[in-house]
Structure 1
């Protein structure tokens, strides 16, 4: 397991508060408030129901604590841990009513982020033995980019740019509007600061040669065949970071990695990864 620095509560608490407010509405938890005595205490377990990698425990914990501040959570498998069916990820002790109220919000985040971490871990495992890193993209759920990219890191992957403001990525439409790669790169250099790196998306080896001649920092090799990727890596020869993108799955990733690219990006890790099945089960009441 690679240690994953936690996100600041300043980043995560607004997300959890908004999710809880959405769920509680204007009347609160009608079911739990009516059925569960306020003095009843409970022990519940967050249990994996399928194999995967955990991510999002801080958010799940916060969901319980915002509803039931007296809750005590004991972590058995921290973020970044591999789990098997039946593994107890965490044990939650506190007011039964509050735990039930926070359950869905906690599980929504935990299952979603653990699914992303699990999908990323499968991709990382697929390219093991090669230098290529697995990276995500900006294809994230609106409002959840920070936590979804965190989940990629928990799964052993790395992050591409976080937004439009932290790097220049010149894509095909930018090139078309600018009238060519040279014009696009020159304009980008004129408008970006000296700390900002420039990456250019290329579809052909001819475009690659043009981008390299301009001294760009990275090249996005978009939807190239394995033969094209291998030739592109040879032509680059370390002069720029090479990133392969397009039709990447755990099945295709090993062959892509074998071409020698530095990065393999996959948008589906954050927009289409299936959730990991995790349940909240009663262990005891008192």
Structure 2
């Protein structure tokens, strides 16, 4: 299967702070004494990483960095973004990790926790991407900011590995005006005007709308993206087409659908006029992919 993320080195995508994030995982897991590490000592060992459920591999740079920070070396048998099946044995060899026994065990749990979640997100993202392609829909599948505090960089990265859009990364990436912003400001028009006065030309403005009438107010006020929230599939497609027709040749904008979207219910939303569909379910309640790391017994 072709990889959806095509990078020479995936770690080049990451910000300057990502290695400190990895350090925080190790700090959390061993805040004081490493009792188990004392028991096993520093004999040189090899551990095999097994994938034990079907999925898409995601999180390679983070896995590498965990073990780099504890002085181990990782040798991969698969590439980032590659799909795998455990096979008849119930497990697929994904990588080998070389290092001292206590170091392998220091890195084991933080690395596996990250890899299980990242691969789970990438696996769901890949299925959504394939569903979009199967139906010939030309729009964008995107995530949301419904991410785990302290773990967003991994989750957004996993979306890219799976082949979908990350949506905005944080509150500084785009100005999204939701119902609370509008209620606090007094009107959609007032909220958009205030947003434009600070965001200037460089930031797009997105407005959450509950009806076509609200969407029209947002478009007239100068919004770049209209989020039609909690519409059903046929209703979203009809509203998107109505708005595109009404403003044809007058205004350029994108229509985004959001609210309760899943793999199971998305097909009716894949219609003409809809530009973006965003899924909180890409990161919320996503099944993890089971991995294990097994130190190999010494031969007699």
- What's the TM-score once normalised by structure 2's chain length? 0.88
SS in structure 2 of the partner of residue 261 of structure 1: coil
Structure 2 counterpart of 1:121: 126
Question: Where in structure 2 are there 5+ consecutive unaligned residues?
Answer: none
CA contact (8 A) 1:42 1:93 kept: yes
Q: 2:54 aligns with which of 46, 51, 55?
A: 51
Indicate yes or no: 2:220 matched with 1:223.
Answer: no
Cα distance in 1 between the residues matched to 2:105 and 2:297: 13
CA RMSD of aligned residues (A): 1.8
Contact 2:205 2:224 in 1 (8 A): yes
- Residue 104 of structure 1: aligned partner: 109
Aligned to 1:161: 168
Q: Per-residue CA shift, 1:102-140, capped at 9, x if unaligned?
A: 111110111111111112112222222211221111111
Structure 2 counterpart of 1:81 = 82
The number of residue pairs the alignment matches comes to 281
Shift of 1:46: 1.3
- The 8 Å contact of residues 229 and 259 in structure 1, kept in 2 or not, is answered as no
Distance (whole Å) between structure 1 residues aligned to residue 59 and residue 105 of structure 2? 18
Distance of 2:227 and 2:125 partners within structure 1:
20
Any idea what SS the aligned residue of 1:271 has? coil
**Correspondence 1:94 to 2:107:** no
Q: CA deviation at 1:282?
A: 3.0
Q: Distance in 1 between matches of 2:139 and 2:92?
A: 31
Moved over 4 A (4+): none
Residue 37 of structure 1 and its aligned partner are, at CA, apart by 3.8
Alignment of 1:174-189 (within 5 A): 174-189=181-196
TM-score, scaled to structure 1: 0.92
Matched-pair contact (CA < 8 Å) for 1:44–1:284: no
CA separation in 1, counterparts of 2:99 and 2:107? Answer: 11
Residue deviations 1:4-28, cap 9 Å, x none?
Answer: 5324473321122111122112112
